[in-house]
Each structure stands twice: as C-alpha cells, then as structure tokens.
Amino acid sequence: MAIRVLLAEDHGLVRAGIRALLEQIEGIEVVGEAGDGREALRLAQALHPDVVIMDLTMPELNGFEATARIAAASPRSRVLVLSMHGDEEYVAQALRFGAAGYLLKDASNAELGVAVRAVARGQRYLSPGVSQPVIEEYLSQAADAPSPVERLSPRQREILQLIAEGHATKEIARKLEISVKTVETHRGQLMKRLGVRDVPALVRFAIRAGLVPLERS
C-alpha cells in the first residue's frame, strides 16, 4: 500500500513544489495539505496519514507545537520535519517534541523519498548534514534540563507565538475562544516565567526559540 503523506507548509509555492516531488516517488500518496500548524493538526486527526511532513515556522501554531500535538492525538502518524535550520538546538527540540525525523530543505529528491520511507517504517531519520552523535549527546544532556520553551505549557507556547506574530489581546482571545482576562493572565505568567518585563522581550525570545521567523515579528 502507498505511504499516505500529509504536507504542512505555509508557503503555497514551496508546498506545491514539495507535493510535485512527492508525487514523482513511487509508493507515496499525498492525502492532504495544510498551510499552518492548526490545520495540520486538524487534518492529521481526520486523515490519519502515515507521515506528516512538517515545516517548523508556520503561523498560528508553529511546527514544534503541531508536532507535539499530533504525536499525542494521532500517534500512528509519524512526523518528518522539513526545515532550513540544521543547528543542533532546532533538531534536538524537534525530536523532543515528538518528531521521528529531520530533513534539511536542501536535500535531494532521492533523499526525500528515503526519509519518508524510513519514518513510515518506524525508524528515525536525520539528514546527513545533521550530526547524529552531536544530537544524541545534546538530547542526553537536556533530558534532565528542559529548555525554557519546554517548561511552558502548550497554551502558553501558543499564546506566546500569537503575541510574537503581532496579534492583539482581543484577537488572541477570539482565536482561542478564551476571555481577554485569561490571555492577559497567560501573558503575565509568560513574562514571569521567562524573566522578561515587556512584550518586545517576549517577541525576541520567541524568535530565538524558533517559534516565529524574524520576518514575521
């Protein structure tokens, strides 16, 4: 049977290009596309794909958070991160959030197929450009010391991303179907937990953590 793939990428042209490449690979079927992490989560729960190819920097709900939620809600769907970021902190964080593989965007067409098949078989796949021993050491060292992002709750990370994307408090409340006061409470807790005093500092933290790209700030 064909490997059923859900593609999550916010740039339409990039998504179309990746889909075209996947459709050329025998034994792989693209069953859905998502333009943000929230849509990726919804489609993963509805379609139960074998593999979710996940970009990290997406609006509304970033790829890290979407990966964690898909891993919890649809454990049979394996997440393969496709990212331009090859530094160990990004890779390790994606793996800790539940990704089964990490593929760099400069990978060849052949490597894309290899990665999808490996992840679908239940294996872990890391691009050759990513040092597996370094990542293993990083994960080992970080096991007992979660990163500042991991110490936040899923709701706090979600609100942090929306704040960093420039959404107003009332807009965040509407999107998440919670009260304005609840958003304000979460914002205060974020500042306290991260040791910052204002919204610009929250934005800078979100950018450093990879929750939003610099151009969206």
pLDDT digits 0-9 by tens, 63-119: 999 999 999 999 899 999 999 888 878 888 898 899 999 999 888 889 999 999 999
CB 53 within 8 A of CB 116: yes
pLDDT tens for residues 11-44?
999 999 999 999 999 999 999 999 999 999 999 9
Question: What pLDDT does 217 receive?
Answer: 37
- The mean predicted confidence, pLDDT, of the chain is 90
Question: What pLDDT does 51 receive?
Answer: 98
Measured CA angle at 64 (ends 62, 69), to 5 deg? 95
> For the range 170-178, what are the long-range contacts, defined as Cβ-Cβ under 8 Å and sequence gap of 24 or more?
175/60
* Diameter of the chain measured on Cα atoms: 54
| Count of residues in the chain | 217
Distance separating alpha carbons of residues 102 and 92, to the nearest angstrom: 9
| 135/161: higher pLDDT | 161
Question: What pLDDT does 111 receive?
Answer: 94
Res 151 pLDDT > 90:
no
Tokens 């609006």, residue? 59
Q: 109-120 vs 12-23: helix axis angle to the nearest 10?
A: 80
Res 178 pLDDT > 50:
yes
| 128/69: higher pLDDT | 69
Backbone angles phi, psi at 111, to 5 degrees: -65, -35
Please give the average per-residue pLDDT across 48-58, as a whole number. 95
